[in-house]
Amino acid sequence: PETVEVNEVERVTASFNSFITESVKLRFWLAKKKTAAAALVKLKLDRSVGGALASPKLNTLSNYVDMFSKTCPNGQTSLLGAQTAKYGEIGVAKGLVTAKRVTRSKDIATKLQTQQLEGWLNNQKSVKDIFTILKISDNDILFVLSRKLDTLDE
């Protein structure tokens, strides 16, 4: 019983230290006016869209983007914008479809996919425009099997 309490205290202490460390790191970046793209690199989320979407560090990037947007309204950005700038519309769309199938990343992937679809609607993109963005050809029989098409299924 005493070992359980010690383990719990150690776990809570480690979690608290991690929170403090992250908070200090984000404030330091904010003071230096690091862009979301620079934060993406610092967090090592710049290697693959799938890895970035599955990483617990994505929440850190999300927190930083929120802080940056509040502090620097002229440089306003979004988590989706940072991902899209790095990986492109197609890469993000395909990555989100895959990430939604993984329990750990399902919630954030669903949120980002909704933002992506809403962005397309708000910019009055037609289905043809989206097919062009996703490089889906309606003449190709394989287009119905494309993971890119899953983006529009939502």
What does pLDDT average to over the chain?
Answer: 80
- Rounded Cα gap, residues 127 and 133, in angstroms: 10
H or E stretch covering 86: helix 79-99
Cβ-contact 70, 27 below 8 angstroms: no
- On the question of pLDDT at 2 being above 60, the answer is no
Q: How far apart are CA 107 and CA 105, in angstroms?
A: 6
In this structure, is residue 23 part of a structural domain? no
Residue 49 has pLDDT above 60, yes or no: yes
- Which pLDDT score, from 0 to 100, does residue 133 have? 80
pLDDT attached to residue 7: 72
Query: 153 pLDDT exceeds 80?
Result: no
**Per-residue pLDDT tens for 84-106?**
989 998 899 889 988 888 888 88
Q: Is residue 106 part of a domain?
A: yes
Instruction: For residue 130, give its domain range.
Output: 33-153
**Res 33: pLDDT:** 87
The pLDDT value recorded for residue 94 is 87
Question: 121-142, pLDDT tens digit by residue?
Answer: 899 988 888 878 877 766 655 5
For a pLDDT cut of 70, what percent of the chain falls above it? 76
Check residue 112 and give its pLDDT.
Answer: 92
Residue 123 within any structural domain of the chain: yes
- pLDDT, position 150: 58
pLDDT, one tens digit per residue, over 4-47 is: 666 766 666 666 556 678 888 888 888 998 888 899 999 998 88
Quick check: is 81 in a domain? yes
Q: What is the pLDDT of residue 50?
A: 86
Is 10 inside a domain boundary? no
pTM: 0.70
Residue 73 is assigned to a structural domain of this protein: yes
**Is 110 a domain residue?**
yes
- Structural domain count, the chain: 1
* Helix (H) or strand (E) run with residue 50 in it: helix 49-54
Residue 149 domain-assigned?
yes
Q: Identify the residue whose tokens are 């097919």.
A: 131
